[in-house]
Structure 1
Amino acid sequence: MSAFDKLHRFIFPNANVRGELVRLDESLNHIVHSYEYPVQIQRLLSQMAAATSLLTATLKFKGEIALQIQSKGPVSYAVINATHSQTLRGVARWDETLTSLPESFGELLTDAVLVITITPDEGERYQGVVALEKPTLAECLEEYFAQSEQLATRVRLMTDLQDPENAKGAGVLLQVLPTDASATDVSQATEFEHIATLTDTLTEEEMFALSVEEILHRLYHQEDVEVFPAQAVSFACTCSKERSAEALRHVEKAELLAIIEEEGAIKMNCQYCHTEYRFDSIDVEAIHNGNMPSSNTNQ
């Protein structure tokens, strides 16, 4: 059984701090190898996937969370979607006319914002926006939590792209647990900084080579740490023929039939998993009569 594609939660009960550690490989490779992404974009998506997994673990309800970057730089768009059950999917768009891409986060994404969207299965959607003005994605996420929740947060994001066939991403998140007392309590802040300083000593080599048990022992063997059972992380796409049909329902029937007459069928491709859904004239008639085609019909 792989030691990766698992999210590990832990708390420091004496310090009122919680932590999460995630390491991805197979789930990540479904994302970074879905297109011929340059290594710079593979790195960005790997960091975003690890970060999204960590943020999804903070949800206290069933639902989805999305990290979306919008930029005027070489990478115009990147998004990772995740569910409360730790399923991930993602995609990026970039200027493919460029012969090379910059290496730094800031040059890859200029005039950029990070949009964090939380969509509960029940209840209202929440959206937060933070400018990507820090030199790393991790620091931008820390800024987001400082602005939106006023909670001390430390984020570490790492990637291992040495093997072109097996990309790896990982991350650690530490956060002060909200209490009735002020989050700026001096003793609590001191404890958090102490644990954060210990966490900052973790190297990429250790993150990807050691077991999680060894990592936690190496970092926090002098601390009181309670570790919870790991949660599996996987790639999964939420596309379906029903969802594609729902989109077509909002297009005039005559326009759809004209496309079918010219091209033989309407073809809709999922940008995440590349599944193709095909619709003929019978499907279009059914859609506009309120009878959606099901996924067990021919794609």
Structure 2
Amino acid sequence: MTDQLNKYLFADQLTRAQTVELSSAWQTGLNHQSYPDSVRDLLGELTAAAVLLAGNLKLDGSLILQAQGDGPIALMVVECSSDFTVRATVSLREGATMPTEGNLQNLLNTYDNGKFIVVLEPKSGSDLQPYQGIVPLEGDTLAEVLENYMKHSEQLDTKIFLAANGEKANGLLLQRLPGTGGHIEGTDAPEEPSWDRAQQLATTIKQDELLALPAAELIHRLFWQEDLMLLEPTPLAWHCPCTRERVSEMLAMLGREEIESILSEQEKIDVSCNFCGKPYQFDPVDCAQLFIAKSDQLNASDTLH
């Protein structure tokens, strides 16, 4: 099954591994968007990373990853909720020249002012306070930026492998867990920690393999000699809460005069969701209905009072 998060625990309980596969969910997210390939792939990597990091959290709310840049990409944002629905978006800097071979540094950190931000946003009404961590965009890849963040902000040794294209957004995470190490049965000699072995084996993986191989096959190829415990898989889905009703409310807030001014210059109003790019169209009749509905609501409120 694709579109899921898989979790594994090594026998000595010193290492955990996670894989994420996003295919139909990722394609849903791209359905109404048109990004340059390098931008799309970078956003896919960040989306896979958000799922991997959210998989280790006990939070009723959302994990939000943001990369703010001074290059052609002004902002990338991915949100993964505690029910493992995701959404993602990119804001491109107007007038910026897109590099032929786009990468993290020349797309986001052209003048070394880029920032990487991790936000933990509890659900409304929670007693928990939001958390925000900010680090520089140091590293040649998003995986390196994330590894640096986990090492210095969370004190966790982590290895992350990410790959994305127009069809898939996949990733692998290895994380060292607190412990003292195991022993080889029948001897007093300490066993080589699984963390050391896992790191060495994982460095052999290539990006095309990460995209081409199903998660189970990837894990088997890398760790076939290991005794792994597979935990319950978590299904993933793309979800954007935009609706025509919400867009209507936003347009109504502009006011009748502003809407009529826009319609005097064009036959209809086209609005696209910032996150999923889904288009919404409002002709003059639709726009008139916005204010009829608003007037009816106000009259109903006055009647109640």
How is 1:164-203 mapped onto 2 (pairs within 5 angstroms)?
Answer: 166-178=166-178, 190-203=193-206
- Any stretches of 5+ residues in structure 1 without a counterpart? 182-186, 292-299
**For 1:215, which of 200, 215, 218 is the aligned residue?**
218
**For 1:147, which of 152, 157, 165 is the aligned residue?**
152
Identify the range of structure 1 (61-70 vs 263-272) with the bigger mean alpha-carbon deviation.
263-272
Alignment pair present for 1:103 and 2:102: yes
Amino acid of the structure 2 residue aligned with 1:135: D
What's the CA shift for 1:52? 0.9
- What CA RMSD, in Å, does the superposition of the two structures yield over aligned residues? 3.1
Given the superposition, is the C-alpha separation of residues 289 and 140 from structure 1 closer, same or farther in structure 2, using an over 3 Å criterion?
farther
Distance 1:262 1:202 in 2: 57
Please identify the structure whose Cα radius of gyration is greater: 2
**For 1:85, which of 69, 83, 87 is the aligned residue?**
83
What's the CA shift for 1:267? 7.2
Amino acid of the structure 1 residue aligned with 2:118: I
What's the CA shift for 1:247? 6.2
Deviations 1:101-146 (A, max 9, x none): 2423211111211111111222221111111011110010011111
Distance 1:229 1:37 in 2: 34
* Partner SS, residue 20 of structure 2: strand
Contact 2:115 2:134 in 1 (8 A): yes
Distance 2:298 2:197 in 1: 62
* Partner SS, residue 147 of structure 1: helix
**For 1:94, which of 82, 92, 95 is the aligned residue?**
92
Contact 1:245 1:287 in 2 (8 A): no
Given the superposition, is the C-alpha separation of residues 285 and 59 from structure 1 closer, same or farther in structure 2, using an over 3 Å criterion?
farther
What's the CA shift for 1:258? 2.2
Given the superposition, is the C-alpha separation of residues 156 and 289 from structure 1 closer, same or farther in structure 2, using an over 3 Å criterion?
farther
**For 2:280, which of 266, 276, 279 is the aligned residue?**
276
Identify the range of structure 1 (257-266 vs 5-14) with the bigger mean alpha-carbon deviation.
257-266
Contact 2:69 2:115 in 1 (8 A): yes
Given the superposition, is the C-alpha separation of residues 62 and 24 from structure 1 closer, same or farther in structure 2, using an over 3 Å criterion?
same
What's the CA shift for 1:38? 0.6
Amino acid of the structure 2 residue aligned with 1:103: G
Q: Which residue of 2 aligns with 1:7?
A: 5
Contact 1:241 1:277 in 2 (8 A): no
What's the CA shift for 1:262? 3.3
Identify the range of structure 1 (278-287 vs 137-146) with the bigger mean alpha-carbon deviation.
278-287
Alignment pair present for 1:158 and 2:134: no
- Any stretches of 5+ residues in structure 2 without a counterpart? 181-189
Amino acid of the structure 2 residue aligned with 1:171: G
* Partner SS, residue 139 of structure 1: helix
Equivalent pairs counted in the alignment come to 275
The alignment-based identity, stated in percent, is 30
How is 1:1-299 mapped onto 2 (pairs within 5 angstroms)?
Answer: 3-95=1-93, 97-98=95-96, 100-101=98-99, 102-110=101-109, 111-121=113-123, 122=126, 123-159=128-164, 161=165, 166-178=166-178, 190-240=193-243, 256-263=255-262, 269-273=272-276, 274-276=278-280, 280-285=290-295
State the TM-score, normalized to the length of structure 1.
0.80
Distance 1:156 1:222 in 2: 21
